[in-house]
Amino acid sequence: MCAFNYRFMPATRLARQLIEQGEIGDIYHFRARYLQEWIIDPGFDLVWRLQKDTAGSGALGDLGAHIIDLARFLVGEVDAVSALMKTFVPERPGGIVDVDDAFEAIVEFACGAVGTLEASRFCQGRKNALTWELNGSKGSMAFDLERPNELQIHLVGSQPGGVAQGFRQVIVSESHHPFWKHWWPQGHLLGWEHAIIHELHHFLSAIAGQSEVRPYGADFEDGYRAAEVCEAIARSATTGQREPVRYRSL
């Protein structure tokens, strides 16, 4: 299993459930941002996360991989990307920074949807701000990790009708909501760590033969595919060209 823990937020799982049930219709757009602020100070040391030989890449592999996985989890495979990467502070106490501080990417999905992905460690005021929005023919959904129990949902044609259309804030903490059977009475909220517990439960259940890792957990193939999307983003940032995502077979 590959530890993409954000799949295990109840709001994310509910979003996936609504897509599977056809409630959102054909997906047109997916845009996700993962923003942090912790290395803005140029005097911050060259830690392992800022070195290519230990971390592989910067914001792309650390933060981008999570939103790439969410894009695949909610929308499907990514066919091609157009991207840029930026290192704002190329030298720090301890040496040269050879990874990206931020990346921006336009993505094309196999299903025909389009979207944008963005991650940065240079966003003043953003602590661990992962947000996404998805727009389909029948509705839209949005999520903000800083409000982890909530899923914003707009469904076209929902009651009470034309004069009061718009997003509603669903608190994903009813007894019938994903994962809730393991926890508290309704409305007694969950945090970041609970998604990790859901993930470990999923992992152990799969080992015990009670469930499969896929489709709700990420397996090695999902980890590999997210890494190939990262590679395509890095290639596009280097070539300045739109790059197809290439998946190799064994």
Residues that bind ligand NAD (CB under 6 A): 3, 5, 62
Q: Using the minimum distance from each CB to ligand NAD, give the nearer residue, 57 or 140.
A: 57
Nearest residue (beta carbon) to ligand NAD: 5
CA 1 to chain centre: 17
Q: Using the minimum distance from each CB to ligand NAD, give the nearer residue, 62 or 100.
A: 62
Least Å distance between CB 198 and ligand NAD?
13
Q: Distance (Å, rounded) from C-alpha 241 to C-alpha 233?
A: 10
| Coil, helix or strand at residue 41 | coil
Least Å distance between CB 82 and ligand NAD?
26
Q: Using the minimum distance from each CB to ligand NAD, give the nearer residue, 111 or 196.
A: 196
Q: Using the minimum distance from each CB to ligand NAD, give the nearer residue, 127 or 168.
A: 127
| Coil, helix or strand at residue 24 | coil
Least Å distance between CB 194 and ligand NAD?
13
Least Å distance between CB 196 and ligand NAD?
8
Q: Using the minimum distance from each CB to ligand NAD, give the nearer residue, 22 or 95.
A: 95
Q: Distance (Å, rounded) from C-alpha 212 to C-alpha 222?
A: 14
Half-sphere exposure of 148 (CA within 13 A, CB side): 18
For residue 175, the tally of other CB atoms under 10 A from its CB is 9
Least Å distance between CB 227 and ligand NAD?
13
Q: Distance (Å, rounded) from C-alpha 34 to C-alpha 195?
A: 17
DSSP-derived secondary structure for 67-79? HHHHHHHHT--EE
